[in-house]
Protein backbone atom coordinates (compact mmCIF):
# COMPACT_ATOMS: atom_id res chain seq x y z
CA UNK A 1 0.00 0.00 0.00
CA UNK A 2 1.20 3.49 -0.80
CA UNK A 3 2.14 5.68 2.16
CA UNK A 4 0.82 8.77 0.37
CA UNK A 5 -1.70 8.71 -2.44
CA UNK A 6 -3.61 11.41 -4.29
CA UNK A 7 -6.50 10.84 -6.69
CA UNK A 8 -7.77 13.46 -9.13
CA UNK A 9 -6.22 16.21 -7.01
CA UNK A 10 -7.27 19.55 -8.42
CA UNK A 11 -6.56 23.14 -7.39
CA UNK A 12 -7.93 26.21 -9.08
CA UNK A 13 -6.90 29.79 -8.39
CA UNK A 14 -9.71 31.81 -9.93
CA UNK A 15 -9.70 30.60 -13.53
CA UNK A 16 -6.21 29.12 -13.31
CA UNK A 17 -5.94 25.32 -13.05
CA UNK A 18 -2.79 25.03 -10.96
CA UNK A 19 -3.35 21.27 -10.44
CA UNK A 20 -5.48 19.19 -12.79
CA UNK A 21 -6.37 15.66 -11.76
CA UNK A 22 -3.05 14.76 -10.16
CA UNK A 23 -2.66 11.06 -9.25
CA UNK A 24 0.48 10.13 -7.34
CA UNK A 25 1.42 7.32 -5.01
CA UNK A 26 4.55 7.22 -2.91
CA UNK A 27 5.80 4.18 -1.02
CA UNK A 28 7.36 4.22 2.43
CA UNK A 29 11.11 4.85 2.24
CA UNK A 30 11.11 6.24 -1.29
CA UNK A 31 12.71 9.43 -2.49
CA UNK A 32 10.53 10.93 -5.17
CA UNK A 33 11.56 14.13 -6.93
CA UNK A 34 9.01 16.47 -8.35
CA UNK A 35 10.28 18.37 -11.37
CA UNK A 36 8.74 20.66 -13.95
CA UNK A 37 9.13 24.16 -15.37
CA UNK A 38 8.42 27.29 -13.31
CA UNK A 39 4.73 27.58 -12.55
CA UNK A 40 4.08 23.87 -13.21
CA UNK A 41 2.34 23.44 -9.83
CA UNK A 42 5.05 21.78 -7.73
CA UNK A 43 4.78 24.08 -4.71
CA UNK A 44 1.00 24.11 -5.01
CA UNK A 45 0.96 20.30 -4.83
CA UNK A 46 2.99 20.42 -1.61
CA UNK A 47 0.83 23.21 -0.18
CA UNK A 48 -2.38 21.30 -0.87
CA UNK A 49 -1.09 18.00 0.58
CA UNK A 50 0.24 19.71 3.72
CA UNK A 51 -3.01 21.61 4.24
CA UNK A 52 -1.59 25.09 3.63
CA UNK A 53 -4.07 25.43 0.74
CA UNK A 54 -7.49 23.82 0.34
CA UNK A 55 -7.90 21.57 -2.68
CA UNK A 56 -10.69 22.25 -5.16
CA UNK A 57 -11.36 18.54 -5.77
CA UNK A 58 -9.86 15.11 -5.30
CA UNK A 59 -8.61 12.81 -2.55
CA UNK A 60 -5.44 12.68 -0.49
CA UNK A 61 -4.69 9.76 1.79
CA UNK A 62 -1.73 9.24 4.07
CA UNK A 63 -1.23 5.86 5.75
CA UNK A 64 -4.94 5.26 5.26
CA UNK A 65 -6.05 8.62 6.72
CA UNK A 66 -7.97 11.10 4.57
CA UNK A 67 -6.12 14.44 4.70
CA UNK A 68 -8.68 16.59 2.91
CA UNK A 69 -10.06 19.23 5.26
CA UNK A 70 -7.44 18.75 7.99
CA UNK A 71 -5.52 21.73 9.32
CA UNK A 72 -1.76 21.97 8.73
CA UNK A 73 -0.95 21.21 12.37
CA UNK A 74 -3.07 18.06 12.25
CA UNK A 75 -1.23 16.94 9.13
CA UNK A 76 2.09 17.67 10.84
CA UNK A 77 1.06 15.55 13.78
CA UNK A 78 0.22 12.66 11.48
CA UNK A 79 3.90 12.61 10.52
CA UNK A 80 4.15 14.85 7.47
CA UNK A 81 6.80 17.56 7.63
CA UNK A 82 8.22 20.15 5.33
CA UNK A 83 11.33 22.23 5.25
CA UNK A 84 10.23 25.75 5.96
CA UNK A 85 11.22 28.99 4.33
CA UNK A 86 13.80 31.28 5.88
CA UNK A 87 10.99 33.33 7.39
CA UNK A 88 10.36 30.53 9.91
CA UNK A 89 13.79 31.04 11.51
CA UNK A 90 13.81 33.28 14.58
CA UNK A 91 16.87 35.41 13.76
CA UNK A 92 17.50 36.62 17.31
CA UNK A 93 17.59 33.11 18.78
CA UNK A 94 20.49 30.71 18.61
CA UNK A 95 20.59 27.79 16.24
CA UNK A 96 19.83 25.41 19.11
CA UNK A 97 16.92 27.50 20.40
CA UNK A 98 15.33 27.52 16.94
CA UNK A 99 15.36 23.73 16.81
CA UNK A 100 14.16 23.37 20.41
CA UNK A 101 11.20 25.67 19.83
CA UNK A 102 10.10 23.69 16.77
CA UNK A 103 10.45 20.45 18.70
CA UNK A 104 8.62 21.83 21.73
CA UNK A 105 5.76 23.16 19.60
CA UNK A 106 5.16 19.69 18.21
CA UNK A 107 5.07 18.10 21.61
CA UNK A 108 2.53 20.60 22.85
CA UNK A 109 0.19 20.53 19.88
CA UNK A 110 -3.44 20.03 20.79
CA UNK A 111 -3.37 16.33 20.06
CA UNK A 112 -0.87 13.70 19.06
CA UNK A 113 -2.00 10.79 16.92
CA UNK A 114 1.15 8.81 17.54
CA UNK A 115 1.96 9.09 21.23
CA UNK A 116 5.18 7.09 20.78
CA UNK A 117 6.50 10.26 19.18
CA UNK A 118 5.77 12.43 22.18
CA UNK A 119 8.55 13.95 24.19
CA UNK A 120 7.55 14.58 27.75
CA UNK A 121 10.32 16.66 29.22
CA UNK A 122 12.57 19.56 28.33
CA UNK A 123 15.49 17.13 28.64
CA UNK A 124 14.07 15.09 25.78
CA UNK A 125 13.60 18.23 23.71
CA UNK A 126 17.25 19.12 24.33
CA UNK A 127 18.45 15.63 23.42
CA UNK A 128 16.43 15.73 20.24
CA UNK A 129 17.85 19.15 19.30
CA UNK A 130 21.39 17.87 19.86
CA UNK A 131 20.71 14.88 17.63
CA UNK A 132 19.21 17.09 14.90
CA UNK A 133 22.07 19.59 14.99
CA UNK A 134 24.52 16.72 14.69
CA UNK A 135 22.59 15.29 11.73
CA UNK A 136 22.61 18.57 9.81
CA UNK A 137 26.22 19.30 10.74
CA UNK A 138 25.49 22.44 12.75
CA UNK A 139 26.51 21.06 16.14
CA UNK A 140 29.50 23.43 16.25
CA UNK A 141 27.19 26.38 15.59
CA UNK A 142 24.57 25.51 18.22
CA UNK A 143 25.13 28.68 20.23
CA UNK A 144 25.49 31.01 17.25
CA UNK A 145 22.69 33.50 16.61
CA UNK A 146 20.74 32.14 13.65
CA UNK A 147 21.00 35.48 11.87
CA UNK A 148 24.78 35.14 11.73
CA UNK A 149 24.79 31.84 9.84
CA UNK A 150 25.96 31.76 6.23
CA UNK A 151 23.18 31.22 3.68
CA UNK A 152 23.68 27.47 3.20
CA UNK A 153 23.70 26.85 6.95
CA UNK A 154 20.46 28.81 7.29
CA UNK A 155 18.85 26.60 4.69
CA UNK A 156 20.04 23.47 6.55
CA UNK A 157 18.67 24.95 9.78
CA UNK A 158 15.28 25.18 8.02
CA UNK A 159 15.55 21.48 7.32
CA UNK A 160 16.32 20.83 11.00
CA UNK A 161 13.27 22.87 12.00
CA UNK A 162 11.20 20.71 9.65
CA UNK A 163 12.74 17.55 11.15
CA UNK A 164 12.02 18.71 14.69
CA UNK A 165 8.38 17.74 14.17
CA UNK A 166 9.49 14.09 13.76
CA UNK A 167 8.13 13.53 10.26
CA UNK A 168 7.97 10.15 8.58
CA UNK A 169 7.39 11.89 5.27
CA UNK A 170 9.21 15.11 4.49
CA UNK A 171 8.59 17.60 1.70
CA UNK A 172 11.61 19.66 0.69
CA UNK A 173 10.91 22.52 -1.72
CA UNK A 174 14.14 23.52 -3.46
CA UNK A 175 16.45 22.94 -0.49
CA UNK A 176 19.57 23.72 -2.53
CA UNK A 177 18.28 26.93 -4.14
CA UNK A 178 21.00 29.59 -4.06
CA UNK A 179 23.57 27.26 -2.49
CA UNK A 180 27.21 27.02 -3.46
CA UNK A 181 28.38 23.67 -4.88
CA UNK A 182 29.86 22.72 -1.49
CA UNK A 183 26.64 23.63 0.33
CA UNK A 184 24.68 21.60 -2.23
CA UNK A 185 26.94 18.59 -1.63
CA UNK A 186 26.34 18.84 2.12
CA UNK A 187 22.60 19.00 1.55
CA UNK A 188 22.70 15.92 -0.70
CA UNK A 189 24.63 14.10 2.03
CA UNK A 190 21.99 15.16 4.54
CA UNK A 191 19.21 13.84 2.30
CA UNK A 192 21.04 10.50 2.01
CA UNK A 193 21.36 10.33 5.80
CA UNK A 194 17.65 10.98 6.23
CA UNK A 195 16.84 8.14 3.85
CA UNK A 196 19.40 5.60 5.02
CA UNK A 197 19.69 6.23 8.75
CA UNK A 198 16.36 7.83 9.58
CA UNK A 199 14.32 5.65 7.26
CA UNK A 200 12.38 8.62 5.99
CA UNK A 201 10.25 9.07 2.91
CA UNK A 202 11.12 12.25 1.01
CA UNK A 203 9.45 14.30 -1.70
CA UNK A 204 12.00 16.68 -3.17
CA UNK A 205 11.36 19.64 -5.45
CA UNK A 206 14.65 20.44 -7.09
CA UNK A 207 15.78 22.34 -10.17
CA UNK A 208 19.34 20.95 -10.11
CA UNK A 209 19.02 17.88 -12.37
CA UNK A 210 22.36 16.48 -11.22
CA UNK A 211 20.93 16.31 -7.70
CA UNK A 212 17.60 14.90 -8.95
CA UNK A 213 19.15 12.11 -11.01
CA UNK A 214 21.65 11.37 -8.26
CA UNK A 215 19.34 10.86 -5.29
CA UNK A 216 15.88 9.92 -6.64
CA UNK A 217 14.25 6.51 -6.70
CA UNK A 218 11.57 7.93 -8.97
CA UNK A 219 10.86 11.26 -10.64
CA UNK A 220 7.43 12.75 -11.30
CA UNK A 221 7.18 15.51 -13.89
CA UNK A 222 4.52 18.18 -13.62
CA UNK A 223 3.63 20.43 -16.51
CA UNK A 224 0.82 22.99 -16.39
CA UNK A 225 -0.73 21.27 -13.39
CA UNK A 226 -0.67 17.76 -14.81
CA UNK A 227 1.64 14.81 -14.23
CA UNK A 228 3.10 14.12 -17.67
CA UNK A 229 5.65 11.47 -16.71
CA UNK A 230 6.57 9.21 -13.80
CA UNK A 231 9.59 6.95 -13.83
CA UNK A 232 13.11 6.17 -12.74
CA UNK A 233 15.75 8.85 -13.34
CA UNK A 234 16.91 6.98 -16.45
CA UNK A 235 13.39 6.75 -17.85
CA UNK A 236 12.71 10.43 -17.17
CA UNK A 237 15.99 11.58 -18.66
CA UNK A 238 15.02 9.99 -22.00
CA UNK A 239 11.33 10.88 -21.94
CA UNK A 240 10.36 13.02 -24.96
CA UNK A 241 7.39 14.64 -23.14
CA UNK A 242 9.69 15.78 -20.33
CA UNK A 243 12.18 17.26 -22.78
CA UNK A 244 9.32 18.97 -24.60
CA UNK A 245 7.97 20.46 -21.35
CA UNK A 246 11.35 21.99 -20.54
CA UNK A 247 12.03 23.19 -24.06
CA UNK A 248 8.46 24.18 -24.89
CA UNK A 249 8.78 27.90 -24.36
CA UNK A 250 8.25 28.28 -20.61
CA UNK A 251 11.22 29.66 -18.79
CA UNK A 252 13.26 27.08 -16.96
N1 LIG B 1 -1.65 31.57 -3.83
C2 LIG B 1 -1.79 31.63 -5.17
N3 LIG B 1 -2.74 32.41 -5.73
C4 LIG B 1 -2.91 32.47 -7.07
N5 LIG B 1 -2.14 31.78 -7.95
C6 LIG B 1 -1.17 30.99 -7.45
C7 LIG B 1 -0.94 30.88 -6.04
N8 LIG B 1 0.11 30.02 -5.83
C9 LIG B 1 0.49 29.62 -7.06
N10 LIG B 1 -0.25 30.20 -8.02
C11 LIG B 1 -0.13 29.97 -9.48
O12 LIG B 1 -0.27 28.57 -9.68
C13 LIG B 1 0.65 28.12 -10.68
C14 LIG B 1 1.56 27.07 -10.08
O15 LIG B 1 2.45 27.72 -9.18
P16 LIG B 1 3.50 26.95 -8.28
O17 LIG B 1 4.08 27.93 -7.34
O18 LIG B 1 2.86 25.74 -7.70
O19 LIG B 1 4.58 26.50 -9.37
P20 LIG B 1 5.99 25.77 -9.14
O21 LIG B 1 5.98 24.55 -10.02
O22 LIG B 1 6.27 25.59 -7.70
O23 LIG B 1 6.98 26.84 -9.79
P24 LIG B 1 8.49 27.27 -9.37
O25 LIG B 1 9.40 26.25 -10.02
O26 LIG B 1 8.66 28.61 -10.00
O27 LIG B 1 8.58 27.29 -7.88
C28 LIG B 1 1.38 29.36 -11.19
O29 LIG B 1 0.71 29.80 -12.33
C30 LIG B 1 1.23 30.33 -10.03
O31 LIG B 1 1.26 31.66 -10.49
MG1 LIG C 1 7.70 26.33 -6.40
CA–CA separation, 223 and 28 (whole Å): 25
Q: Is the CB of 79 under 6 A from ligand 1?
A: no
CA–CA separation, 4 and 25 (whole Å): 6
Q: Is the pLDDT of residue 237 over 50?
A: yes
pTM: 0.89
* CA distances (Å), origin 223, targets 74, 139, 150, 175, 202: 30, 40, 34, 21, 21
CA of 18 to the centre of ligand 1 (A): 7
Residue range 150-163, pLDDT digits in tens: 988 998 898 888 88
CA of 116 to the centre of ligand 2 (A): 33
List CB-based neighbours of ion ligand 2 within 5 Å: 42-43
Q: Where are the domains of the chain?
A: 1-79+206-252
Q: How confident is the model at residue 198 (pLDDT cuts 50, 70, 90)?
A: confident
Whose alpha carbon is nearest atom 30 of ligand 1?
A: 39
At the top level of CATH, which class does the domain 1-79+206-252 belong to? alpha beta
Bridge pairing between strands 57-62 and 65-66? antiparallel
CA–CA separation, 34 and 49 (whole Å): 14
Tell me if residue 220 falls in helix, strand or coil: strand
For a ligand 1 pocket test, name from 14, 20, 41, 203 the mutation site with the most ligand atoms within 8 angstroms of its C-beta.
41
Q: Is the pLDDT of residue 37 over 90?
A: yes
Whose alpha carbon is nearest atom 2 of ligand 1?
A: 13
What integer pLDDT is reported at residue 227 of this predicted model?
97
Whose alpha carbon is nearest atom 18 of ligand 1?
A: 41
What integer pLDDT is reported at residue 38 of this predicted model?
93
Alpha helix locations (H) across 108-148?
122-135
Average pLDDT of span 224-228: 97
Q: How confident is the model at residue 251 (pLDDT cuts 50, 70, 90)?
A: very low
Q: What is the mean pLDDT of the chain?
A: 88
Residue range 92-148, pLDDT digits in tens: 999 999 998 888 766 554 444 444 445 557 778 888 899 899 988 899 999 999 999
Q: Is the pLDDT of residue 250 over 90?
A: no
Average pLDDT of span 21-49: 97
Which is the closest atom of ligand 1 to the Cα of 44? Answer: 18
Amino acid sequence: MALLETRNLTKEFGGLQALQGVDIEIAQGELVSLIGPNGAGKSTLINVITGMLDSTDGQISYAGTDLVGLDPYEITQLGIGRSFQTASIFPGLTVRENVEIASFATEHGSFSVNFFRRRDSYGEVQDRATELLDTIGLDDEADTAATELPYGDKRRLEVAIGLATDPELMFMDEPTAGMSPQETDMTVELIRDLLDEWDMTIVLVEHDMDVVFDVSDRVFTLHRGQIIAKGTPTEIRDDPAVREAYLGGESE
